[in-house]
Amino acid sequence: MAFSTGHERRSAGPHVPASAHTVLRFPMKKSKPQFPQWWSWLQGPRAVGGSRADRRGTLRVMALLLAGMVGMIGPVGAAEAAPRTRKDSSPAKKARVEPQTSTAGPVSPGWIPLPEDHPLAAFWNDPEFLRRVVGSYGFLGRLEPPLTAEEQEQWRQTVVPALREDPHKAIEVLKPLVGPTASALFDFTLGTAFLQAGDPTNAQVHLEAAVAKHPEFLRAWKNLGFVRARLGDAAGAARALGRALELGGADASTLGILGAMYLQSGRPVAAAAATQQALLFKPDDFTLQLQLLQAWFASAQYEPALRLVDELLSTRPDRVALWQWKAQLHLQRNERKEALVAYETLRRLGGARAEDLFALADLYVMSDAPEEAAAVYREALATGSAAAPERALRAAEVLLAQGQTAVVGALLDAIHRVEGALPPAVQNQRLRLHARWLWAEGKAEAALERLEECLRRFPADGQALLLAGDWYAHAGDREKAEFRYQAAAQIEAVAPDALVKHAQLLVRHQEYRRAAELLQRAQRLRPREPVQRYLDEVVKLATSRPASS
């Protein structure tokens, strides 16, 4: 087709010749927009003059033009497209054959699905995705390498029957047909058969060979992207799928998997863009909607994500995943009240995980509702999550600092019920916290007994040694206090603090010179300005007193 610039001599009548060399004339005048002759024929039979035969001829031209555009835009069905014929290098094969329609027919089901917890399972196990991959055994009239007459005969006589029967048999048939000079269609078909048979490693080898031979092989690029996604090569999959999109292969599965690959590669903005385009093809696809939420969340686009969640909840109020997203989005926006309501709804729906329950309990603590917090913490412990006891202990420490001793006691009892399953470090933390709770309750003797039990089981617990030294010093037992501080000073993590506490004990007994020596040791281990000021004061006191002090 030739396009006129408008400088040629224009014909006097409205007639458009119905031939393959129709000239489309675009006037160059800027004063009044004009359209080529064929545009007027689309507006109706009375838009322009001309005979009925003229209009029929023009419509035939338009049909040919639109058919060509459809061929350029996207793939056609395997049962409607035909392979092109290519030259054979051998002198004996100069004959050409006319393109023929593929008769591949349906492929025997041999697809290997992914486990439900796999990140690609929603796409990979979708029947529509399977139809696209398996359906790609056919031919496209464009963007694909041609076949020689001999290769077409091999395809019809050997490959097609094997594909209809079983992908494993097709693999054995195709192996001897691939080679450096063979059509890339054979490499592509072998790679796709390996993919269908659940062997993505070999599938990648042959699909890469196909695109190396024919760089504009659309479906080979697309299936190569699927294979690389299956193998966990997110960056490689994104490159292959991006190339397929450049060649016109846009569809919901391709764009959706491309978005997932961008997410795995740490590119949430690109993931959101790809997923939004996928939703143009499948606007009600829940998997794509959740993926868009994830991309928006990862790129800190909380406002549109929250709007999408609310829109989805209006029609799916019982979807647990949506309430989880809503709660997390409100937390990111520091909207604690709304987050608490979302987590509580999630809890009542029965879909709250241990981490959701802990987040809800923390919100209750921040909302000054310790009883509700303790109930939710106990519920979280009952889930059996391995991280639950440690998380509950951290919460108990916060509640103890707030003076919520009654709530802390109930929470410690709940933790004690699962102590047999706790790792030693968490058991140690529970014993130490229990001792602190007893001390806060005014039960000093019981607190010291529990702390000594902790030290018998975990003698290198520096925090417990410091705590024991403080409590013995408070009780007036200087000897035991010094013994605990000296033991703590042997532990590197707490040695500077142990030396300072021991020095403070000596200062209370007016032993300034010894105290100054301990403070100097502490400063050599970990210099701190407040400790230096305290050391200066102690040195002044030491120099003002007799040497015996």
Which phi and psi angles does 346 have, rounded to 5°?
-60, -40
For residues 83 and 226, membership in a common domain is answered with yes
In a domain, 523, yes or no: no
In a domain, 236, yes or no: yes
Token pair recorded at residue 387:
């991280």
In a domain, 360, yes or no: no
- What is the bridge-based pairing of β-strands 2-4 and 23-25? parallel
For residues 116 and 155, membership in a common domain is answered with yes
Q: Taking Cα atoms as reference points, which of 359, 385, 383, 387 lies closest to residue 373?
A: 359
Token pair recorded at residue 130:
């399977």
CA dihedral defined by 338, 339, 341, 345, rounded to 10 degrees? 140
CA 72 to chain centre: 33
The per-residue pLDDT for 189 is 93
For residues 186 and 163, membership in a common domain is answered with yes
In a domain, 10, yes or no: yes
Distance from C-alpha of 296 to C-alpha of 401, rounded to nearest angstrom: 37
In a domain, 380, yes or no: no
Which phi and psi angles does 376 have, rounded to 5°?
-70, -35
* pLDDT < 70 positions in the chain: 1-112, 123-124, 128-142, 419-420, 546-549
For residues 109 and 245, membership in a common domain is answered with yes
The per-residue pLDDT for 381 is 85
CA 400 to chain centre: 38
Distance from C-alpha of 467 to C-alpha of 481, rounded to nearest angstrom: 10
What is residue 66's three-state secondary structure? helix
Give me the amino acid identity at 449: E
Distance from C-alpha of 260 to C-alpha of 331, rounded to nearest angstrom: 24
Q: Do residues 181 and 165 lie in contact, with contact meaning Cβ atoms separated by under 8 Å?
A: no
The per-residue pLDDT for 55 is 45
The per-residue pLDDT for 147 is 87
Q: Taking Cα atoms as reference points, which of 393, 382, 484 lies closest to residue 437?
A: 393
**For residue 131, what are the domain limits?**
77-87+99-249
For residues 106 and 231, membership in a common domain is answered with yes
Total of domains in the chain: 2
For residues 121 and 240, membership in a common domain is answered with yes
What is residue 23's three-state secondary structure? strand
For residues 124 and 187, membership in a common domain is answered with yes
Neighbours of 3 (CB within 10 A): 10
To which residue do tokens 């092989």 refer? 217
In a domain, 439, yes or no: no
For residues 40 and 105, membership in a common domain is answered with no
Sequence-ordered alpha helix ranges (H) in 125-199: 127-135, 149-154, 160-165, 167-174, 184-196
Q: What is the CATH number of the domain that holds 166?
A: 1.25.40.10
The per-residue pLDDT for 140 is 52
Domain boundary among 196, 229, 249: 249
For residues 43 and 117, membership in a common domain is answered with no
Q: Do residues 508 and 479 lie in contact, with contact meaning Cβ atoms separated by under 8 Å?
A: no
The per-residue pLDDT for 56 is 46
pTM: 0.61
For residues 21 and 105, membership in a common domain is answered with no
In a domain, 38, yes or no: yes
In a domain, 344, yes or no: no
For residues 194 and 59, membership in a common domain is answered with no
- Burial state string for 396-408 with b = 16 or more CB within 10 A and e = fewer than 16: bbebbeeebeebb
